[in-house]
Amino acid sequence: MLGISMMVLVVVAFAIGIAYMIGYAFKIEKIIQIAKAEIGEIFVTLLIILIFFGAIYTVSPSGFIKIGPSSTYNTYQSDCLLLAGSSVNVFRSLATFFIPESYFLQLLRDFTVNVMSLHFGISFMPLKAFGLIYHILNLFISIAGGLAVLFIALIVFLSIIYSVFPIFLFLGIILRTIPWTRAAGGAFLGLFIAFYMLFPILLYFMLQSSPVSSVQQTINTNSYLSSTSNFISSASTFISSIMDVTHFDVVSLFITDIVEPLVFTLFVLIISLIISYDFMELVGDALGAPSLSSSNTLKKVL
């Protein structure tokens, strides 16, 4: 692909050089001005090639070492592992503790006492108040499950970016070299720079400082969760867990250990997407894609 991009660049530069010589020979100022403008655009495209492909290599005492793709892969791998670990631990926590706890709360809520005498009597539900905690816990379970699924979808999105978006670099270089497709080339280059390079880097640095990075350790080492993970087979543990529910310990634990880091990650994702989108518009506009004029989305949101 790099060879094809350079070949197209050379052919277009050769054609523009011929046009410049014709215009200079016959004193046609319009052709000379167009040729000069196109020479400047070709120089910009060549500079883009040197920057992106030159960044792949670095000089060492033993020669040139290829570092770019491995560094990019490590960034994507770190983002995906962090998001996957967070999602897996959320699902594991829901399956081993919070969903069974919700089931027992439902049993308590529906517990009914019937007092019958000669087919007449009364019935009442003395533990109906547990229904409030049951609905709150189910709400948090739905939120956490939805966010975990969203992060799995984000992993798929990152995989697609890593696999497909490098093609946009070559397409952008080729299309930007040709005057009639320069706007499309600028748009492809803007997409590549914003989402292949900037977006995963933003996720990496912001997620490394987020509570999500400690979710796995929290779930694995929290004594409360580890002591109640097998409460179904232990009556004493079951009674203890019900006592904890009545003091809202389960809800508090769910918020601090699961909902809070997942919501923070969602915030990081939204901010990263907005910044990348604005940067795509800025780069595309600078590289000849007027349709991508910046809308300052981040500024409007803030």
Burial 181-192 (b: 16+ CB within 10 A, else e): bbbbbbbbbbbb
Mean pLDDT of 146-166: 86
Q: Give pLDDT, residue 249.
A: 58
Residue 143, judged by CB atoms within 10 A of its CB (0-12, 13-18, 19+), counts as: middle
Q: Give pLDDT, residue 225.
A: 38
pTM: 0.67
Q: 116 — phi, psi (to 5°)?
A: -120, 140
Q: Give pLDDT, residue 96.
A: 65
Kindly write down the DSSP assignment for every residue of the chain, as one continuous string: -HHHHHHHHHHHHHHHHHHHHHHHHTT-HHHHHHHHHHHHHHHHHHHHHHHHHHTTEEEETTEEEE-HHHHHHHHHHHHHHHHHHHHHHHHHHIIIIIHHHHHHHHHHHT--EEEEETTEEEEE-TTTTHHHHHHHHHHHHHHHHHHHHHHHHHHHHHHHHHHHTHHHHHHHHHHHHSGGGHHHHHHHHHHIIIIIIIHHHHHHHHHHTSGGGGHHHHHHH-HHHHHHTTGGG-HHHHHHHHHHHHTTHHHHHHIIIIIHHHHHHHHHHHHHHHHHHHHHHHHHHHTT-GGG----HHHHH-
Mean pLDDT of 60-77: 55
| Total count of residues recorded for the chain | 302
When the pLDDT of each residue in the chain is averaged and rounded to a whole number, the result is 72
Q: Give pLDDT, residue 300.
A: 54
- Residue 193 in tokens: 């720079």
Q: What is the pLDDT of residues 8-67, one digit of tens each?
A: 888 888 888 888 888 888 888 888 888 888 888 888 888 887 777 665 554 433 443 444
Q: Which residue has the higher pLDDT, 242 or 188?
A: 188
Distances (CA, A) of 145 to 29, 65, 243: 66, 44, 25
Q: Give pLDDT, residue 178.
A: 84
User: Do 202 and 190 form a contact (C-beta atoms < 8 A)?
Assistant: no
Residue 189 has pLDDT above 60, yes or no: yes
User: Do 51 and 179 form a contact (C-beta atoms < 8 A)?
Assistant: no
Q: What is the pLDDT of residues 96-107, one digit of tens each?
A: 666 666 677 777
Mean pLDDT of 251-278: 79
Q: 117 — phi, psi (to 5°)?
A: -145, 110
CA nearest 79: which of 213, 212, 203, 262? Answer: 203
